[in-house]
């Protein structure tokens, strides 16, 4: 029975935990304040002196309205939303295009137009994200190649870095894009020193005191330094400040946007194409960034979130935030980490950050007038460097610094590394040159090309001969001797991936890789995922090309219920005909059965079909491995000690773990040693013996033995062997010798295969 005191205690603990989570979220919001402010200014940088007037309220609308909706709708562990550098930069590119278009037409960039463009782009972004979620595209982020992602992030980091130059040099933002280096004549080194000093403080604090909020502490120290230096040396120019947050003016412009929707649509009409393309780019980049952050968070927590649910929540958040002219909402990794380190947990931590941001807007807006632009630019430098993909840059520096490195060698690892670095560099340079949109488009194209090339390259997995890996069938000594000459002419090629139009030419070229003296090629399709019509036609052409060289094609991995077999039959109805026989006669369950079929064909060619007893015909007991090299009299005596047995097809001879009751001599049929799941380990042909290991070491059977077909056997029990040893010691020793020779033959076959596979022959 529950104690009456326990329930209030648990309730109190729950309330305290909730308050702790809310407080942790509030602290995380304060810690990430510098990044929110700088991203707001960055997104509206084309507006020059009015960047803070619009950008800072838009950033706060993002972390209040958009992040609030996201924290409620999300089901992940830490649903912290906020602006991001890539999406802020994309908004800046959109506004710069609109500004140029307005200037070309002789108009001015009105506040209402800016807010309408921002609102429309973010809302369409949200609609596209919800559409992506409905189409179950949330998992696509897992398939973006790492070099493409690294190139895009490095390009965005460089763009963010370059966007801080006007603030760091105290140059008018509108002069920098058009006049370039001429604007440097108006630069002020004091602002540069302040910005670099702020960045250095943030890095130093992050290194020496990782538990402190480095960005917030660096911003406060930079703010203090700015005002102390300005008071001490009034002539020193350290750049301008942000200006107060005039929420009233922002809200009046916001109401003007939606008060007359028809007028707003007419304002947006000339820029519809730029807004639409930017919304698509925002949806792609924002979704990709958010899903990758979600994946990193899941790896950290050990959970598995629903990507499509999170994408739907982001879309809803951006639609709601767009109504208030907010910056695009993404899943913010830095904001989530700040909240978690402050003690915020789960949805309450994210909600605490939202409430704290709302309080900052209501009561601390006037204090923003004291924030220097150079200080915020210094904080943004640290954000830019944090965006850099360190692994790719380290690899690039490594390859440039080592002349005798795999980058300059011809091995496959060096080639793959070189291609990855080239892909990363192309995406980075195009992002830097033409903006994030071009970088994403190139990245998607390269992702498709790398995917297709990867499928092409991964088609051939391995090649080996039957000498390197013979079948698992055990043959009588005379047959094994004949196979030693035939196995080097049987080749196996393993394929993997998809067999489709993109690599069908590799299938047709496969005949050129087969040695001229090959008489059989086995194609293992066990790891092939699918076959389209082009791939099926290529297989048929390979079959015809090999037939012209008197080389037979066998297909492995195509059991009776194989989906690939059905695909081949659908694409190639003629392959079932007697003239082709590609499916009807040449498909096998796996490589082992195909190798056995190839060995059987080679034996029929070399020995003649009438002499190949292991195909199921009977072998006289006198010619078996147990009684070979015995005189007729000894064979007669030994036969008297043997017990005849018969098995029907599918009947079990013995089971794994049973105590060995003797050695069996197979004179007709076939016996396979299989696992409990039916996997074949080995098959014994007529004329061979099995079960001798359990007889020699006295331990249990190592696997099950099942008859593949009706079989006749003879059993030599330990008791009979002991009686034979007492009556005829010489005969008994001869039988032991034959068992040892049988084991030695099997061991030599295995050793020869190992040596061939290792390249020692």
Q: Per-residue confidence at 337, pLDDT binned at 50, 70, 90?
A: low
557 Ramachandran zone, left/alpha/beta (phi>0; psi -120 to 50)? left
Q: Per-residue confidence at 651, pLDDT binned at 50, 70, 90?
A: very high
What's the mean per-residue pLDDT of the chain?
Answer: 79
Q: By C-alpha distance, which of 353, 388, 382, 461 is closest to 78? A: 353
Higher pLDDT, 2 or 685: 685
Q: Per-residue confidence at 331, pLDDT binned at 50, 70, 90?
A: confident
Q: CA 37, 43, 49, 53: dihedral to nearest 10 degrees? A: -60
- pLDDT at site 645: 92
Q: pLDDT tens for residues 412-439? A: 456 667 777 888 888 888 877 876 667 7
Q: For residue 621, count other CB atoms closer than 10 A to its CB.
A: 18
Q: By C-alpha distance, which of 546, 520, 523, 552 is closest to 535? A: 523
- pLDDT at site 749: 65
Backbone φ and ψ for 654, nearest 5 degrees, come out as: -155, 165
Q: Per-residue confidence at 372, pLDDT binned at 50, 70, 90?
A: confident
Q: Would you give the DSSP letter of residue 500?
A: S
| CA–CA separation, 99 and 104 (whole Å) | 9
Q: pLDDT tens for residues 537-579? A: 888 888 888 988 899 999 998 887 888 888 887 777 655 554 4
Q: pLDDT tens for residues 579-626? A: 455 666 688 888 888 998 999 888 887 765 444 444 456 888 888 888
Q: Which domains does the chain have, with CATH numbers?
A: 14-173+247-370 (no CATH), 458-615 (3.30.750.24), 621-757 (2.60.120.10)
| Mean per-residue pLDDT, 191-208 | 87
Is pLDDT above 80 for 330?
A: yes
pTM to 2 decimal places: 0.55
| Mean per-residue pLDDT, 686-698 | 81
Is pLDDT above 90 for 120?
A: yes
Is pLDDT above 50 for 175?
A: yes
Q: pLDDT tens for residues 431-474? A: 778 766 677 677 777 767 766 666 666 678 888 899 888 888 88
Contact 490, 524 (CB under 8 A): no
């Amino acid at each position: 029975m529950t104690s009456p005191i326990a329930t209030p205690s648990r309730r109190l603990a729950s309330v305290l935990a909730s308050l702790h989570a809310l407080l942790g979220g509030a602290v995380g919001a304060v810690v990430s304040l510098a990044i929110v402010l700088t991203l707001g200014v960055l997104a509206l940088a084309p507006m020059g002196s009015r960047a803070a007037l619009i950008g800072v309220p838009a950033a706060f609308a993002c972390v209040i309205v958009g992040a609030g909706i996201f924290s409620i709708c999300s089901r992940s562990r830490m649903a912290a939303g906020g602006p991001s550098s890539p999406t802020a930069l994309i908004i800046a590119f959109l506004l710069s295009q609109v500004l140029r278009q307005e200037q070309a037409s002789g108009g001015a960039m009105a506040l209402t137009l800016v807010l309408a463009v921002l609102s429309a782009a973010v809302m369409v972004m949200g609609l596209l994200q919800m559409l992506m979620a409905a189409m179950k595209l949330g998992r696509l982020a897992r398939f973006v190649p790492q070099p493409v992602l690294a190139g895009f992030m490095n390009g965005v980091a460089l763009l963010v870095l370059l966007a801080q130059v006007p603030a760091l040099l105290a140059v008018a933002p509108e002069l920098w894009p058009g006049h370039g280096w001429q604007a440097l004549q108006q630069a002020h080194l004091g602002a540069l020193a302040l910005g670099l000093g702020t960045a250095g403080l943030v890095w130093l604090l992050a290194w020496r005191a990782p538990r402190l909020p480095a960005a917030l502490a660096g911003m406060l120290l930079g703010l203090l330094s700015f005002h102390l230096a300005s008071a001490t040396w009034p002539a020193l120019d350290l750049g301008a400040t942000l200006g107060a947050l005039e929420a009233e003016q922002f809200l009046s412009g916001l109401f003007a946007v939606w008060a007359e929707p028809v007028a707003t649509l007419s304002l947006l009409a000339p820029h519809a194409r730029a807004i639409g393309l930017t919304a698509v780019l925002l949806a792609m980049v924002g979704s990709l960034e958010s899903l990758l952050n979600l994946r990193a968070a899941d790896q950290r927590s050990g959970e598995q979130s629903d990507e499509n649910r999170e994408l739907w929540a982001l879309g809803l958040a951006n639609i709601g935030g767009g109504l208030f002219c907010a910056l695009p909402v993404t899943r913010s990794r830095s904001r989530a980490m700040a909240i978690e380190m402050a003690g915020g947990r789960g949805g309450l931590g994210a909600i605490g950050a939202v409430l704290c941001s709302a309080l900052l807007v209501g009561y601390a807006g006037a204090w923003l007038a004291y924030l220097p632009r150079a200080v915020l630019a210094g904080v943004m430098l640290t954000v830019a460097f944090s965006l850099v993909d360190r692994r790719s840059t380290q690899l690039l520096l490594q390859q440039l610094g080592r002349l005798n490195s795999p980058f300059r060698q011809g091995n496959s690892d060096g080639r793959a590394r070189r291609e990855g670095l080239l892909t990363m560099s192309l995406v980075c340079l195009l992002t830097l040159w033409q903006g994030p949109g071009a970088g994403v488009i190139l990245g998607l194209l390269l992702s498709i090309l790398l995917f297709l090339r990867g499928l092409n390259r991964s088609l051939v997995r391995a090649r080996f001969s039957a000498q390197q890996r013979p079948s698992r069938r055990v043959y009588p000594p005379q047959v094994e001797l004949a196979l030693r000459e035939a196995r080097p002419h049987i080749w196996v090629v393993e394929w993997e991936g998809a067999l489709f139009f993109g690599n069908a030419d590799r299938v047709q070229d496969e005949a050129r890789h087969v040695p001229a003296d090959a008489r059989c090629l086995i194609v293992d399709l066990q790891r092939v995922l699918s076959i389209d019509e082009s791939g099926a036609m290529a297989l048929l052409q390979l079959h015809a090309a090999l037939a012209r060289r008197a080389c037979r094609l066998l297909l492995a991995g195509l059991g009776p219920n194989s989906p690939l077999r059905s695909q081949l039959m659908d694409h190639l109805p003629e392959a079932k005909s007697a003239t082709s026989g590609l499916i009807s006669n040449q498909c096998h369950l796996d490589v082992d059965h195909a190798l056995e079929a190839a060995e059987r064909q080679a034996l029929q060619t070399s020995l003649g079909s009438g002499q190949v007893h292991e195909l199921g015909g009977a072998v006289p007991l006198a010619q078996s491995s147990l009684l070979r090299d015995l005189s007729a009299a000894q064979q007669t005596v030994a036969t008297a000690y043997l017990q005849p047995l018969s098995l029907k097809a599918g009947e079990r001879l013995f089971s794994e773990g049973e105590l060995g009751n003797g050695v069996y001599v197979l004179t007709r049929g076939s016996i396979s040693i299989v696992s409990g799941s039916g996997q074949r380990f080995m098959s014994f042909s007529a004329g061979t013996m099995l079960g001798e290991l359990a007889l020699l070491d006295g331990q249990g059977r190592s696997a099950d033995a099942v008859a593949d077909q009706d079989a006749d056997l003879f059993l030599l029990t330990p008791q009979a062997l002991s009686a034979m040893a007492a009556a005829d010691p010489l005969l008994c020793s001869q039988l032991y010798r034959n068992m040892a020779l049988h084991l030695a033959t099997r061991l030599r076959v295995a050793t020869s295969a190992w040596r061939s596979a290792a390249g020692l022959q």
